[in-house]
A and B are shown apart, each in its own frame.
Chain A
Amino acid sequence: MTPARPLALAALLIAATALPAAAHHGWGGYESGKEMTLTGTVQQIAFSNPHAMLNLQADGKLWHIVLAPPSRMSTRGLPADSIKPGQTVTVVGYPAKSDPAELRAERITAADKTIELR
């Protein structure tokens, strides 16, 4: 076998295993054309890895808001405990394609501070 043939076989095997991503988690899983602004009361917040999340009561509905990793939230000015249950916050973001009550936030305004999350 010449060296070129096993290399071609290797390339084929790699191509065969590179599966298409069924996006749900990255920004691809959200309706980027349907930007929404929600203002409501924080019910619960998890300032945790891999990304912070909060439950927001807004527009008569409980929304699940996906935020940024704690490290990014902190360096951009909203560290742990700067968002608490009962607080009023505003988020701008996109609803999930798979869940009408989930929203990925592009930015959040809390405690008179607005930070970008992407």
Chain B
Amino acid sequence: MDHDLAPAGPGWLVALETSGLGESLRQSVWLYPMVEIAHILGFALLVGAILAFDLRLMGVRAPLLPADALARLLLPVAVAGFALAVPTGLLLFTTEATALAGNPAFLAKLALIGLALLNILAFHGLAGRRMTDWSLSDRPPPGARFAGAASLALWVGALACGRLIAYL
């Protein structure tokens, strides 16, 4: 660990970290844990709802639970979780911007989230667009099963990398 307590690195990261926002979050006694709690709640909703839907895409409880009906409950929950996790994550980033920008677990987490978002776009543009066609079928189409498995691996990986930030 660096023995100099002052942040060092690219200018915009130093500016972010030494900003009033970064400084007050770092110095706050209870605001920082509150932001952490909101971040955890956000990704719990996001990953929990997405994993449940991923399992359905992979065929779990098909055709008992119609995929399109399930999507109407789980996907808004996931979106709400994402909407909570992103701004709180940005706030947490400002407190340690320079260290995080070089942290391999943080970079891997961002990459996995990027891939997971691309997977969402691909699914909704392909198999997901015809969801009503296979919503009640015994077995979802290969595209849906692949998207579900990929999503599950990517989001669990992103979550694991997020926790590993503190250990790498």
A26–B165 Cα distance when bound, in Å, is 11
Q: Does B12 make an interface contact (CB < 8 A)? A: no
A23–B27 Cα distance when bound, in Å, is 26
Contact across chains for A18 and B160 when beta carbons are under 8 A apart: yes
User: How far is the CB of B1 from the nearest CB of chain A, in Å?
Assistant: 5
Contact residues of A between 12 and 46, Cβ < 8 Å to B? 13-14, 16-19, 21-26, 29, 44, 46
Known: A10-B55, A48-B27, A49-B32. A26 touches B1 (CB 8 A): no
Contact across chains for B152 and A14 when beta carbons are under 8 A apart: yes
Contact across chains for A64 and B32 when beta carbons are under 8 A apart: no
Contact across chains for B149 and A13 when beta carbons are under 8 A apart: yes
Q: Does A94 make an interface contact (CB < 8 A)? A: no
- B152 / chain A contacts, CB cutoff of 8 Å: 10, 13-14
Contact across chains for B61 and A17 when beta carbons are under 8 A apart: no
State how many residues of chain A have any CB contact under 8 Å with chain B. Answer: 41
A13–B62 Cα distance when bound, in Å, is 20
A57–B32 Cα distance when bound, in Å, is 29
A53–B157 Cα distance when bound, in Å, is 30
26 contacts between A and B (CB under 8 A): A1-B59, A1-B139, A6-B145, A7-B55, A9-B58, A10-B152, A13-B152, A14-B152, A14-B156, A16-B153, A17-B156, A17-B160, A21-B164, A21-B167, A23-B167, A24-B168, A44-B5, A46-B5, A46-B26, A48-B27, A49-B32, A49-B95, A64-B3, A69-B33, A80-B29, A96-B1
- CB-based closest 8 A-B pairs: A6-B58, A48-B26, A49-B32, A17-B157, A25-B166, A6-B59, A13-B153, A17-B156
B interface, CB within 8 angstroms of A: 1, 3, 5, 25-30, 32-33, 54-55, 58-62, 95-96, 139, 145, 149, 152-153, 156-157, 160-161, 164, 166-168
A interface, CB within 8 angstroms of B: 1, 3, 5-7, 9-10, 13-14, 16-19, 21-26, 29, 44, 46-50, 53, 55, 62, 64, 66, 69-71, 74, 79-80, 96, 99, 101-102
